Structure 1
Amino acid sequence: MTAASTPLLQVRDVDVRYGKFQALKKVSLDIAPGECMGLVGESGSGKSTLGKAILGLADVADGTITFDGTDITHVGGRARRALAKSIQVVFQDPYGSLDPAMTVGQILAEPLRVAGVSSSEAKSTIVEMLGRVRLPADSVDRYPSEFSGGQRQRIAIARALVRRPRLIICDEPVSALDLTTQAAIIDLFIDLQRETGVAYLFVSHDLGVVRRICHRVAVMYKGEILEEGPGAVITTTPEHPYSQRLLKASPVADPDAQALRREEWLKVRAA
């Protein structure tokens, strides 16, 4: 974990309800400046709901969310829009999150235009961010449909970076990509964090993915955090039975090891 006297983000005893269904139950976690915090669990565990609560897209019924010392739990309107400078998001689907009718240049310029950035400054920022995500400068005149899935996700990451945020919510950002492209995008996230100091909340269902990038990891099940600790520990020798089941479900490159892991996973699931 990155050393810091005060967390950048503090989530304390947060509840989120959709009617009678309680999606989050007394969830608490901290993210330090420049840290990557992994949030792992199966589909429906509440991972994405926590990200939405931080972004103001899910109503918090109880508890508090504090960013840089300021309570943002129920912030809305102009104050919430102002937070976009500091908190951004990268979604799972790199194509669905990009407007197909806009060029890459227009997509990246939009958040800068809303922020009142001059056209000349916006142009230089866009070129800089395209370089950071390893895309050529002439990408500005092309449309999302002209890029591969991995390149589209690079565009989405560049869009998240143009406001120079301090925290990015990464909601399953590589799960729609093939394994080779996943590895390249994860490496990009690591490089960008090293270069910019941005913090991540990295949401995933795969312990193998978060092992490569996250400093700390929290495991979520049915809206509750079951286990939290250093990434190297939680992703290799977790204590909670559910975390152990997730680990056995995580794929490995070696076919023999994968077959053994699947056999163990089936035994645990059947128990």
Structure 2
Amino acid sequence: MATEERPDLLTVSDVCVDYTSGRRKQAFRALKGVSLEIGAGECLGLVGESGSGKSTLGKAILGLAPVASGTITFDGKDITHAKGAERRALASSIQVVFQDPYGSLDPQLTIGEILAEPLTAAGTRRGAARSAVGEMLERVGLPGSVVDRYPSEFSGGQRQRIAIARALVRKPRLIVCDEPVSALDLTTQAAILDLFISLQRDTGVSYLFVSHDLGVVRRICHRVVVMYHGEIVESGDGEAVTRDPQHPYSRRLLMASPVADPSRQAERRVAWLRLKDQAA
């Protein structure tokens, strides 16, 4: 997707996150001075392997990981250490879609109850909440009649549509998408990615799209940031970074992305092994 100038909605400046473990409370630095910006209406891809720190950054933005140093600014306001009522108020502007569509929905609640809960918690009357829920379900490609059904009655792709509807129902300005298609089959992945693109076009919402797959982010992201061991090693236009990456780690990620052609896949496998040997 082409890059264009957009006013910054979220700014992450030199953020470090530490985790402690063991009896001696030894600290592990998961993020090492990370800085990035997300513009209004922009989709920024955050790519890296497991353990690279990409999900930790998403958690820091959501207030789920403690920031040791640096700042996170949303719409000009410092939210680095927002707690309590201030953090709850941010829920109307910042939402999340998790990786697992099976574990992210309460199995004991109906779809209508799941989607209405964030609205009623914010003070919306039940009638208005029901109307908003029906409208949002239709927007994500599900009939309003599913409100009385339970999550167990739906496929993985349908559940992820429900999770997206829940994230959008309060009309946020930013959604952190934490590996939202990695648990889905390829056909369903494509449909959900198309849905994300359509919803962004219609609503103007911004995405931080976390993924390990350069092929996925190429399809949806305006810009891409590559993380390795808690640091940003490459960033730039989505098309450029995902098709012709410059950093050796980014090139290894590209070689690891599957392609449909067996011959090309074999060539990629050889190239990936060569890059891996060079990095060792």
TM-score, normalised by the number of residues in structure 1: 0.98
Question: Contact (CA 8 Å) 1:65, 1:73: kept in 2 or not?
Answer: yes
How many residues are treated as equivalent by the alignment?
270
Deviation at 1:270, TM superposition (A): 2.2
Question: In structure 2, what is the equivalent of residue 58 of structure 1?
Answer: 65
Question: In structure 2, what is the equivalent of residue 42 of structure 1?
Answer: 49
RMSD over equivalenced CA pairs, Å: 0.8
Residue type at the aligned position of 1:228: S
Would you identify which runs of 4 or more consecutive aligned residues in structure 1 move more than 6 Å? none
Question: In structure 1, what is the equivalent of residue 188 of structure 2?
Answer: 181
Question: In structure 2, what is the equivalent of residue 8 of structure 1?
Answer: 9
Question: In structure 2, what is the equivalent of residue 218 of structure 1?
Answer: 225
Question: In structure 1, what is the equivalent of residue 155 of structure 2?
Answer: 148
Structure 1 CA distance for aligned equivalents of residues 213 and 174 of structure 2: 21
Deviation at 1:127, TM superposition (A): 0.8
Structure 2 CA distance for aligned equivalents of residues 127 and 240 of structure 1: 46
Question: In structure 1, what is the equivalent of residue 256 of structure 2?
Answer: 249
Residue type at the aligned position of 2:88: R
Q: Does 1:227 align with 2:234?
A: yes
Deviation at 1:255, TM superposition (A): 2.0
- Does 155-164 or 260-269 show the bigger shift? 260-269
Residue type at the aligned position of 1:57: L
Q: Does 1:99 align with 2:99?
A: no
Q: Flag structure 1 segments of 5+ consecutive residues without an equivalent.
A: none
Q: Flag structure 2 segments of 5+ consecutive residues without an equivalent.
A: 21-26
Counting only pairs closer than 5 Å after superposition, residues 83-94 of structure 1 correspond to structure 2 as 83-94=90-101
Deviation at 1:104, TM superposition (A): 0.3
Question: In structure 1, what is the equivalent of residue 24 of structure 2?
Answer: none
Q: Secondary structure at the match of 1:8?
A: strand
Residue type at the aligned position of 2:5: A
Q: Secondary structure at the match of 1:30?
A: strand
Q: Secondary structure at the match of 1:235?
A: helix
Question: In structure 2, what is the equivalent of residue 110 of structure 1?
Answer: 117
1:193 to 200, 207, 211: 200
Deviation at 1:183, TM superposition (A): 0.6
Structure 2 CA distance for aligned equivalents of residues 2 and 198 of structure 1: 15
Question: In structure 1, what is the equivalent of residue 274 of structure 2?
Answer: 267
Structure 2 CA distance for aligned equivalents of residues 56 and 109 of structure 1: 23
Residue type at the aligned position of 2:11: Q
- Identity of paired residues, percent? 72
